[in-house]
Amino acid sequence: MQPLEVKVGGEQPYTVTVGAGLLARVRVPQRHVALIHPADLPPAFVETVQAALSPTVTVSVPPRDGCKTLAVYADVLSQLAAANLPRDGAVVGLGGGAATDLAGFVAASYLRGVAFYTLPTTLLGMVDAAVGGKTGVNLPEGKNLVGAFWPPQAVWCDTDTLTTLPSEIFREGAAEAYKHGLIADPSLLPRVLSPDFRPGDPGLEATLADAIRVKAEVVTRDPTEQGERAHLNFGHTLAHALEAHTHHAIPHGEAVGYGMHYAALLSRALGGADLTAHTRAFLRWQRPTPLPDLTFDDLWPYMARDKKADADGVRFVLLHDLGRPYLGRVPGAVLRREFAAWQTDLTLVR
């Protein structure tokens, strides 16, 4: 089957290619390349890309969000400098969203910016993180609090890589595809929950391309989150708080699943359609890691630092209905009441 292509427009247009066997066929025009990948990635992926690109330097970074720290960021920059990667070189991020977020921030800042490419190998990376140019690292105070908008020049989603992905990490990533269904393309909702949504299924690539298209269209219109792009943050105010508070014991995709259900409860409380059956169905399908004992006050300091907050306080992405997101403020009493409802619901979805 021919690879599928999704175009991202704007000032620096690029193509997201989705298909089998792409890692071996990757080409970039730059003569010097820094390849950045997580240490626990199957070595065959790294070797295939090394054979395709002959990188000047290959940098292995800690798995998962362990690589999204200022210390790892500084170390990677030093390794690129020690290898004399020149300004007309490129950074290639290979792996999940954590590695591509770090690699993008390195690309954005090394020598004040070099070309960047992404090779996502997780479902979440393909449908979300590798596309759109949000790059960065975490602080102990919260997720992604340091970073830059630095779009890739091309994205290759090699669907063969998904066959080695542990099934729970595949289900994590489904949260972002489901999010795209809730905020823009409801046809994705049953497709994500279908038994056919799995590595190796002949229909998977079309579903991935449709999920990617939602993000591509939003970031084409609003690359630097001046407005509409914030809708891609549906579920993320609570999600990022869960990740930070649990020191990443709850991974991003699971945190987004939990956060989307809270956002659906808030949306209903403010007069929106009742979409909680959708977010509950997703949680039943995803089977996330159980949460530790939590109170609203444990999470609120992180929610208050969310990047959608402005001088007037915290804002949430809410839904009037399927495909109709908006950015709104929620009274404190409603936040607390629906947090209690969310906790009760979580005991019922198990």
Write down the residue that tokens 């003569």 correspond to: 31
Handedness of CA 157, 158, 160, 162 (dihedral sign): negative
236 binds, among ligand NAD, ligand LNCXM5UN, none (CB under 5 to 8 A by kind): ligand LNCXM5UN
Q: Is 280 a catalytic residue?
A: no
Provide the 8-state DSSP code for 28. Answer: -
Task: Give the integer Cα–Cα distance in Å for 274 and 251.
Answer: 27
18 binds, among ligand NAD, ligand LNCXM5UN, none (CB under 5 to 8 A by kind): none
- For strands 142-149 and 4-8, give the pairing: unpaired
Comparing CB distances to ligand NAD, the nearer of 129 and 230 is 129
Please, are residues 159 and 110 in contact by the beta-carbon 8 Å criterion?
A: no
Does residue 176 interact with ligand LNCXM5UN by CB under 6 A? yes
Is 179 an active-site residue? no
| Antiparallel, parallel or unpaired: β 324-328 and 316-321 | antiparallel
Residue of 171, 191, 213, 240 with catalytic role? 240
Q: Is 162 annotated as a binding residue?
A: yes
Bridge partners of 80, per DSSP, are none
Element (H, E) at 210: helix 204-221
Are 105 and 38 spatial neighbours (Cβ–Cβ below 8 Å)?
A: no
Please tell me the distance from the alpha carbon of residue 285 to that of residue 218, in angstroms, as a whole number. 27
Residue type, 333: A
Among 76, 106, 115, 134, binds ligand NAD (CB under 6 A): 134
SS3 percent helix, strand, coil of the chain, rounded to 5, is 50, 20, 30
Is 27 a catalytic site residue? no
Beta bridge partners of 90: 33, 115
State the nearest-atom distance from the C-beta of 172 to ligand LNCXM5UN, in Å: 12
112 is catalytic: yes
- Considering only the stretches 11-19, 36-44, 127-135, 166-174, report the one whose residues sit in contact with ligand LNCXM5UN under the rule CB under 6 A: 127-135
Distance of closest approach, residue 176 Cβ to ligand LNCXM5UN, in angstroms: 5
Strands 57-61 and 33-38: parallel
In the region spanning residues 134 to 153, those forming contacts with ligand LNCXM5UN, defined by CB under 6 A, are 134, 143-144
Contact 117, 93 (CB under 8 A): yes
Residues between 254 and 313 with contacts to ligand LNCXM5UN, criterion CB under 6 A: 307
- The token pair at 128 is 């979300």
* Contact of residue 303 among ligand NAD, ligand LNCXM5UN, none (CB under 5-8 Å per partner type): none
Q: How many CA atoms lie within 13 A of 209 on its CB side?
A: 16
Of the candidate residues 99, 115, 192, 230, the single one contacting ligand NAD (CB under 6 A):
99
Nearest approach in angstroms of CB 132 to ligand LNCXM5UN is 5
Site residues (CB under 6 A) for ligand LNCXM5UN, limited to 46-85: none
Site string for ligand LNCXM5UN, 213-252 (x = CB under 6 A): ------------x---x--xx--x----------------
Residue 218 C-beta: closest distance to ligand NAD, Å: 11
CB atoms within 10 A of CB 315: 19
Nearest residue (CB) to ligand LNCXM5UN, 171 versus 236: 236
Alpha carbons 13 and 82: distance in angstroms, whole number = 32
Q: Which residues are catalytic?
A: 112, 134, 176, 215, 225, 229, 233, 236, 240, 252
| Binding residues vs ligand NAD (CB under 6 A) | 38, 40-42, 63-65, 68, 95-99, 101, 121-122, 124-125, 128-129, 132, 134, 143-144, 161, 164-165, 169, 172-173, 176, 252-253
